[in-house]
Amino acid sequence: GAVVSQHPSWVICKSGTSVKIECRSLDFQATTMFWYRQFPKQSLMLMATSNEGSKATYEQGVEKDKFLINHASLTLSTLTVTSAHPEDSSFYICSARMDLRSGNTIYFGEGSWLTVV
Amino acid sequence: AQKVTQAQTEISVVEKEDVTLDCVYETRDTTYYLFWYKQPPSGELVFLIRRNSFDEQNEISGRYSWNFQKSTSSFNFTITASQVVDSAVYFCALSEVSRGQNFVFGPGTRLSVLP
């Protein structure tokens, strides 16, 4: 079946540095990918919608200059947390939408745990 | 207003008991999808079911069953004869076609099944 892979699964970085998380659709093309954030014991909240070849659409309250999203190909979207701070520590998870002709189904990645120290 | 409400924050049951997790949603779309996901401590989302707005048939899959009622905007999830391995956080989610099918998740219900 379709698989969406995220890398890294977990990462620890120092405050002030940047960290990149990759989201790949392994056996299908995804024109749209979504990025969610989940703080401990909370629900998942949509951060942004990433469309291949165009700028991402960010949800209200999400800083686009801090959370850089690049969807450079039909199988890869990246989320870069710039100048990370401890409050950015969270679980980040992506999802990818298979195109309409292939069923329009959405698959989630395994998620990435980010800890900023 | 929350689009997806899961009234139970935490539920504890003893193994072999049946348990129902409630989900109430809100949408103006006529075409939408409802989902249930299981999230174990490792974090990944385990897909359980997808139901589109035009299919109100109840579904049973092993010990799991779902009751979709458009009249009450509810999509409840029942686990029969619960097991310790069912312990996890369960999320109900709504995906609206008009919003590009991004997911709106409910707050989640933490289920603890005690031996």
Quote the tokens at residue B60.
């049973």
User: Scanning the structure block, which residue is given the tokens 């979504």?
Assistant: A34
Classify strands A112-116 and A10-13 as parallel, antiparallel or unpaired: parallel
Buried b or exposed e, range B48-57, using 16+ CB within 10 angstroms: bbebebeeee
| Ranges B20-29, B78-87, B100-109: which has the least confidence | B100-109
Mutate to test the interface with B, among A44, A102, A108 (most CBs of B within 10 A): A44
Q: Taking CB atoms and an 8 Å cutoff, what residues of chain A touch B91?
A: 43-44
The pLDDT value recorded for residue A111 is 95
Q: What CA–CA distance (Å, rounded) separates B103 from A50? A: 14
pLDDT score of A1 more than 70: no
**Secondary structure of chain A: what % helix, strand, coil (to 5)?**
5, 55, 40
Round to whole Å and give the CA distance between B6 and B97.
Answer: 22
Q: Which residues, in sequence order, are CB contacts of A100 under 8 Å at separation 6+?
A: none
| pLDDT tens sequence across B12-55 | 999 999 999 999 999 999 989 999 999 999 899 999 999 999 98
Residue B1, pLDDT score = 54
Task: Enumerate helices (H) and strands (E) in chain B, giving the number of each.
Answer: 0, 12
pLDDT digits (tens, 9 = 90+) for A78-105: 999 999 999 999 999 999 988 766 556 8
> pLDDT for A37-51, tens place per residue?
999 999 999 999 998
Q: How many residues does chain B have?
A: 115
B32 vs A contacts (CB less than 8 Å): none
